[in-house]
Amino acid sequence: MSTENIIEQKITETLEKNYMPYAMSVIISRAIPEIDGFKPSHRKLLYTMYKMGLLTGGRTKSANVVGQTMRLNPHGDMAIYETLVRLTRGNGALLHPFVDSKGNFGKQYSRDMVFAAPRYTEVKLDKICEEIFKDIDKNTVDYIDNYDGTCKEPVLLPTTFPNILANPNQGIAVGMASNICSFNLVELCNTTIAFLKNENTDILDTLKAPDLPSGGQLIYDKKEMEQIYRTGRGSFKVRAKYRYDKKNNCIEIYEIPYTTTVEAIIDKIVDLVKTGKIKDITDVRDETDLNGLKITLDLKKNTEPDKIMNKLFRLTPLQDTFNCNFNVLIKGTPMVLGIAGILKEWADFRINCKKRQIAFDINKKEEKLHLLKGLERILLDIDKAVHIIRNTAQDADVVPNLMKGFDIDLVQAEFIAEIKLRNLNKEYILNRINEIEHLEKELKEMRSTLNDEGKIKNIIIKELKEISKKYGQPRRTEIIFEDEILEIPEEHLVDDYNVKIFLTKQQYLKKIPLTSLRGSADQKLKEDDEIIQEIETSNKSDLLLFTNKHNVYKRKLHEIPDCKASSFGEYLPNLLSLEEDETIIYVVSTTDYSGHMLFSFDNGKVAKIRLDSYVTKTNRKKLSRAYANQAKLVHIMYLQQDTELVAFSSINKVLIFKTSSIPEKSMRDAQGVQVMRSKKGSTLVQVKTMDEVHLSNPDYYRTKNIPAIGYYLRPEDSNKSS
């Protein structure tokens, strides 16, 4: 193979050259919303509808809008239509929809409810878009060429309220994302007004909490909310709303968190019922209809609805978390801002829009005043004006002759020349000239306002009050406080029944309810497999699984599925994600972490570790250094209360010792104390309970003090103890 055409390139330079332009394009031109609250795809679509006259006219087919939008948005028709769907009233994704719709647009809360094709649906701009496009034709915002230079489009839309916070907005760019929750419009307008008056206002006083289109209950945590408001990052929890139908013994869920779907909730509940984690639900149905969302749960008799819902809140998306990331594009730069920061940027933007609108109006009025000033000149001698026009030989000379005759400029002369003959009366001209005084007064006020930011803020405040009154709605998301929630401890939500645990040599764990075990005592095992440990315990207990690699894995026993004697059970390397060559050697079940773990090592040392040493504040799944690793582990056991044990050495020495003589340790990896001393290089090879050995005279092997060498095994005991 020839290497002549191969050119070496530095990977960093190649990435910067080829990848960075794409990444920046996604960030700036696609995924991150700007201060007007829109991404480019939203803005192009709404502006197209505005230019189509859909703000005041009737609805048109969605396909028509999609086609027209392609002039500004060089994407496929379905990509544009999906953007349109999210903006509609029918879809329900926004607190204040921008598109009035007719037809099936799916639902934000449904994963499987598919929207109809664009040829079947109809749309127009909703009334609130009057505030989105207000004064857009008065030079309030900049315009740029579209992608092929055939028309113009606005860089931003001159929203008269902080739309960026009025509707939820999510975007995933390259290396960054944005997730903005919505707030109640009345609260938002009041907060913006307070901020315009005093930037140091306490935002929490007026902006209580987010308000989501899907409703539900927001669990209010003041510290979390302060963090979100201050930094633009953080999270809050939202849970579903439900009611109990006593007559039919069922729960009806009618509002769910914004971040989930009906199908996701039902799938999870069905899974919990199938795995036996929830036993009180007999049926789950999606009964959503024209009246709105409804998930119905049929219950068994004597089931407490609040208890079962608390369990579902813990185990399903019926309670979910909204993660806030207020990443906004400000003048081409992505910034994560708190509420005050966003309001400051929006206020600056809106003030600039207002200044441009006032400047535009001043310019128009000045032009009109200029024309009227020229008209005022001919009032002095209307006959002269008529005489000039009448005695001008050529049409092209009319304007120059008027300019010369009345000492006016070209624009004024053109205006006078275009006056109809019937209007060349004194009354008409006087009426028009009387406007001069009024115009001059207006211009004076407008120039004063233009140069006074305080006056501009007052105009914006007045607009916000009108918007709040006109479009404000009651809160959809109810605010509840953590202390109002009846928290049922997790252990109370777990079904309590007795189970038996089997650990096999080939690393299978079987959890079988005792009621099921009574029916079949024979355990199905793989070929050459055998049971190495059995425990009878409760479904509410914790399971500690010790490995040959000095680790312990922790699991809630109720999280492990029940099985039957006829199945192999759970394969532990998969269940626990064990390391290579790591095996489970011992299992302990506990509900209160009382008692001790006893570890015996070949160097004759025994460590007695408190079981509560394995308690963690967080729900950690794996603890390393579960026991000492300085010597080889010979024996491991759970010690609920002190007893006597029998130790055997490699030279057939035997020692009976009391575990009460071994001091307890709280450090998990403590080496313990010497129990059996070495003689001639002997090692500890085995430890058994008194029930496992049969000694003719146990007192012969007992010792009052440790460490001890032990006593040689008597011939009469050798067969009994093997």
CATH code, 313: 3.30.1360.40
Q: Which residues are catalytic?
A: 120
Is residue 349 one of the residues assigned to a domain? no
Q: CA 97 → CA 115, 116, 126, 216, 262, distances in Å? A: 16, 18, 7, 19, 21
Question: Residue 46 phi/psi, 5° resolution?
Answer: -65, -40
Helices (H), 105-231: 129-132, 163-166, 185-197, 203-206, 222-231
597 and 668 share a domain? yes
- Contact 141/34 with Cβ under 8 angstroms? no
Is residue 602 one of the residues assigned to a domain? yes
What is the C-alpha radius of gyration for the chain, rounded to an integer number of angstroms?
A: 40
Question: Residue 448 phi/psi, 5° resolution?
Answer: -65, -45
540 and 687 share a domain? yes
- Contact 550/629 with Cβ under 8 angstroms? yes
**Cβ neighbours around 691 below 10 Å, total:** 7
Q: Structure tokens of 691?
A: 């029930």
Which CATH number do you get for residue 656?
Answer: 2.120.10.90
**Amino acid of residue 444:** K
Whole-number pLDDT of residue 505: 93
453 and 502 share a domain? no
511 and 647 share a domain? yes
Domain count within the chain: 4
706 and 577 share a domain? yes
Q: Structure tokens of 709?
A: 């060498």
679 and 589 share a domain? yes
Tally of residues, the chain: 722
CA 600 to CA 544: how far, in whole Å? 18
- Contact 174/168 with Cβ under 8 angstroms? no
Question: Residue 49 phi/psi, 5° resolution?
Answer: -65, -35
Whole-number pLDDT of residue 389: 84
Is residue 637 one of the residues assigned to a domain? yes
The per-residue DSSP string of 465-478 comes to HHHHHHH----SSE
570 and 651 share a domain? yes
379 and 426 share a domain? yes
372 Cα distance to chain centroid: 60
Whole-number pLDDT of residue 8: 76
- Contact 228/324 with Cβ under 8 angstroms? yes
CA 328 to CA 96: how far, in whole Å? 20
Domain boundary among 107, 133, 159: 159
Q: Structure tokens of 643?
A: 């007893």
Q: What pTM did the predictor assign?
A: 0.74
Question: Residue 703 phi/psi, 5° resolution?
Answer: -135, 145
Domain boundary among 103, 128, 159: 159
Whole-number pLDDT of residue 436: 87
Burial of residue 694 (CB within 10 Å: 0-12, 13-18, 19+) is exposed
219-232 burial code (b ≥16 CB/10 A, e <16): bbbeebbebbbeeb
What SS3 class is residue 40? helix
What SS3 class is residue 500? strand
466 and 517 share a domain? no
Q: Structure tokens of 646?
A: 């029998």
What SS3 class is residue 357? helix
Which CATH number do you get for residue 427?
Answer: 1.10.268.10
CA 254 to CA 291: how far, in whole Å? 10
- Split the chain (722 residues) into runs of 10 and give each run's mean pLDDT: 67 72 65 92 95 93 95 89 95 95 94 93 96 95 92 95 94 82 97 95 95 95 94 95 94 96 95 86 92 94 89 93 95 93 96 96 92 80 83 87 87 84 76 85 93 95 96 95 71 77 94 80 85 92 94 91 88 92 95 94 95 88 93 94 93 92 91 92 92 89 89 81 56
The C-alpha torsion from 53 through 59 and 61 to 67, rounded to 10°, is 20
- Contact 258/293 with Cβ under 8 angstroms? no
- Contact 383/478 with Cβ under 8 angstroms? no
Q: Structure tokens of 213?
A: 């289109």
What SS3 class is residue 346? helix
CA 410 to CA 402: how far, in whole Å? 9
Q: Structure tokens of 467?
A: 């918007």
**Amino acid of residue 130:** E
- Contact 570/521 with Cβ under 8 angstroms? no
Q: Is the peptide bond before 158 cis (omega within 30 degrees of 0)?
A: no
Max Cα-Cα span within the chain = 152
**Cβ neighbours around 379 below 10 Å, total:** 13
538 and 686 share a domain? yes
Is residue 702 one of the residues assigned to a domain? yes
509 and 466 share a domain? no
Domain boundary among 135, 159, 183: 159
Is residue 697 one of the residues assigned to a domain? yes
Which CATH number do you get for residue 69?
Answer: 3.90.199.10
CA 240 to CA 232: how far, in whole Å? 25
Whole-number pLDDT of residue 491: 60
The boundaries of the domain holding residue 251 are: 241-317
Q: Structure tokens of 470?
A: 């006109």
283-304 burial code (b ≥16 CB/10 A, e <16): ebebebeeeebbbbbbbeeebe
Whole-number pLDDT of residue 547: 95
- Beta pairing partners, 656: 646, 702
CA-based nearest residue to 669, from 592, 601, 584: 601
519 and 623 share a domain? yes
Whole-number pLDDT of residue 25: 65
Angle 377-381-384 from CA coordinates, rounded to 5°: 110
Residue 121 DSSP label: -
What SS3 class is residue 78? helix
CA 56 to CA 79: how far, in whole Å? 26
CA 685 to CA 600: how far, in whole Å? 9
Is residue 535 one of the residues assigned to a domain? yes
